[in-house]
Structure 1
């Protein structure tokens, strides 16, 4: 036998036989794996069609995909396959077209049942419609939304004749909730019918730019300036002027309708003894939202003060509620002598009729109370040496 193995021809024959056996083991399905098929039921079919000029009526029916081949290849089977019919070369009407399969790995075979399905196309129509703005939500109190501006204000609505008949409007919905600045947004447009939004039509273009001006109502009124703190007793205000006479106040119309003047900043003159220019911000008094200008110049002219005693100023009781009486115990005659300080020309012209002395008894219970006296005086005039005067008042139940 060793001699046979040493023979070249014998070795060649044995090698050939082994090669044939190995090739048979690989290619013979009885040795590798058996042929099989896979059924995929309720498979979805896509339709390729000219969607610019046609609409697809309904959805194509589902089919059964039968995949045939050697089981050894099923491990490579991918779900990326798709089934489709090509209706791009047909026009309006119902057409029976073959279902095609794409994306299966080689050498897997497939067939579809049914092999052909009906596809119905209808012409796509269009009509031009105006875009209607619809504002939802509200701006904060005191702000006002103006008339919206839309670009483009006309669009094409495309769809079947039946669907176009349902369209009653095309709207751009803008939410104004708590917005304080003008709106400039790109809004996706929506078609509406009698029963609400419609989804089976197309809008071209799909979006529009919507601008909504948001402003605050304003009113221009005189500006009033009063000192916050009076100057030293030896000095008086000869006059207060500003670089603006009027100011624009912004806020709710319910507030502006009754606004006759606006109280500006109250300068502290307690250390001012000569002519002075002050730059002060204008306060925003609620319910005002803003004022213009925001800052003003205040020119204060100071002069040496003169004093004058005003006699027999009557004391007035305010704040009496219904059914309640009050009696002034002190001063006994319910009159005061007060010393006023101010500019000489102004002081010379003052009399008792120009001064009011008030005591407020609001919410006081029955009994005797010491109540501070409040003075109502002409501008730039102050009481000197008597700023803490009190009256003794008896409240009678």
Structure 2
């Protein structure tokens, strides 16, 4: 009977099916990579994530008539939702934060910060939730640009020439009350200490009131090119050699390779100098030689070119010279 039972075809088919099922279960338990990876992918798509991003705060208002002050440039938006949606929103930032002032009148208001463009599958919070703003009448005017620089930074003996700025005039726009307080538009040149050459920079412009406080207005253009020419007067003068400490038993012949020098310094001081006396010390000079003698600068002179004089000294005994 047993032999007849196992020889039946359907019995072999059932046994083969059971063996196949056992093999699949075994493979699933020992090599879970494929199914686990699929499960992780689903988990990543549905997992909740929270991220905070700062975005510009836009203002909806008639900018031709009104000027708004008091609101922050950016607000913080915290997003919560699936990994994919949060990451996409943060990376693309295809949503915006804004305050709607289209139906507000002139004056101070507290308004709600609104968000648009976000997927309805994301939840969010914004900080701050409300902002205090002031709507004022808009005013534009054209004003000249003034140059300011730290005069004490200029090196001794150097003078500042005629400064220039480009552009010379700018357009200023802002709240009527702010624009009316402007005393001057200033281009501040921050000269480095002991500067001895021309200064040229592109600097940020500032609108200042009478007390020197900066005002909240828009300046167009916002920068200007400042040029501060710095130079020093110069003059060529003849050299007079003045021998010192000569020995009585010797005869000296002292000549300079060059008989003139260029002096740099205060223009008024230089005008009073026609010749420059250079002292040549002959102490312990017993034979003919060449000597470099430094130039002692007169009052008001900051440097000379050259800085010293090459002197040729010839020495003879007084007895031989006779």
TM range (shorter): 0.5 to 0.7
Q: For residues 281 and 51 of structure 1, what CA distance do their matches in structure 2 show?
A: 77
Indicate how the Cα distance of structure 1 residues 279 and 189 shifts in structure 2: closer, same or farther if over 3 A, else same. farther
CA distance in 1 between partners of 2:71 and 2:62 (Å): 14
Q: 1:126 aligns with which of 126, 129, 140?
A: 140
Establish whether residue 145 from structure 1 lines up as the match of residue 160 from structure 2. Answer: yes
Q: What SS class does the counterpart of residue 131 from structure 1 fall into?
A: strand
Query: Structure 1 residues 163 and 272, CA, compared in 2 at 3 Å: closer, same or farther?
Result: same
1:55 corresponds to 2:67: yes
Tell me the residue number matched to 1:199: 215
SS at the partner of 1:189? strand
TM-score by length of 2: 0.55
- Assess if the C-alpha contact under 8 Å between 2:256 and 2:309 holds in 1: no
Partner Cα separation in structure 1 for residue 278 and residue 144 of structure 2: 49
Q: Describe the shift of the 1:236–1:86 C-alpha distance in structure 2 as closer, same or farther (beyond 3 A).
A: closer
Residues of 2 paired with 1:178 and 1:168: CA distance? 31
1:289 paired residue number: 302
Partners in 2 of 1:192 and 1:145 — Cα distance? 25
Matched, 1:167 2:205: no
In 1: Cα distance, 2:176 partner to 2:170 partner:
17
1:185 counterpart SS class: strand
Aligned-pair CA distance for 1:264: 3.2
C-alpha distance in structure 1 between counterparts of 2:57 and 2:81, whole Å: 29
The gaps in structure 1 that reach 5 residues or longer are 1-5, 7-43, 308-340, 345-397
SS at match of 1:164: helix
Question: Judging changes above 3 Å, is the alpha-carbon distance between structure 1 residues 201 and 120 closer, same or farther for their aligned structure 2 residues?
Answer: closer
* Alpha carbons 2:286, 2:315 under 8 Å: kept: no
For 2:172, the equivalent position in structure 1 comes to 157
Cα separation, 2, equivalents of 1:293 and 1:271: 26
Distance, in Å, in 1 between the alignment partners of 2:261 and 2:131 is: 78
Q: Identify which of 140, 145, 149 aligns with 1:135.
A: 149
Aligned residues: 254
Greater Rg over alpha carbons, structure = 1
Task: Please name the residue that 1:46 is paired with.
Answer: 57
- From 191, 195, 203, the counterpart of 1:187: 203
Cα distance between partner residues in 1 of 2:261 and 2:245: 23
- Deviation, 1:221, is 3.9
CA contact (8 A) 1:134 1:173 kept: yes
| 92 and 218 in structure 1: CA distance in 2 versus 1, 3 angstrom threshold | farther
Distance 1:110 1:285, change over 3 A: closer
User: Which stretch has the larger CA shift, 46-55 or 183-192?
Assistant: 46-55
Q: Counterparts in 2 of 1:295-314, with a 5 A limit? A: none
Distance across 2 between alignment mates of 1:188 and 1:72: 43
Aligned counterparts of 1:247 and 1:199: Cα–Cα separation in 2: 53
Q: Which structure is higher in RCO with an 8 Å CA cutoff and minimum separation 6?
A: 2
Offset, 1:190: 0.9
Answer with 153-162 or 187-196: which moved more: 153-162
Shift of 1:220: 4.5
User: More displaced, 202-211 or 92-101?
Assistant: 92-101
Report the aligned-residue RMSD.
5.4
2:277 maps to 1:263? yes
- Tell whether the 8 Å contact from 1:137 to 1:175 is kept in structure 2 after alignment: no
Aligned to 2:24: none
Paired with 2:62 and 2:170, the residues of 1 have a C-alpha distance of 18
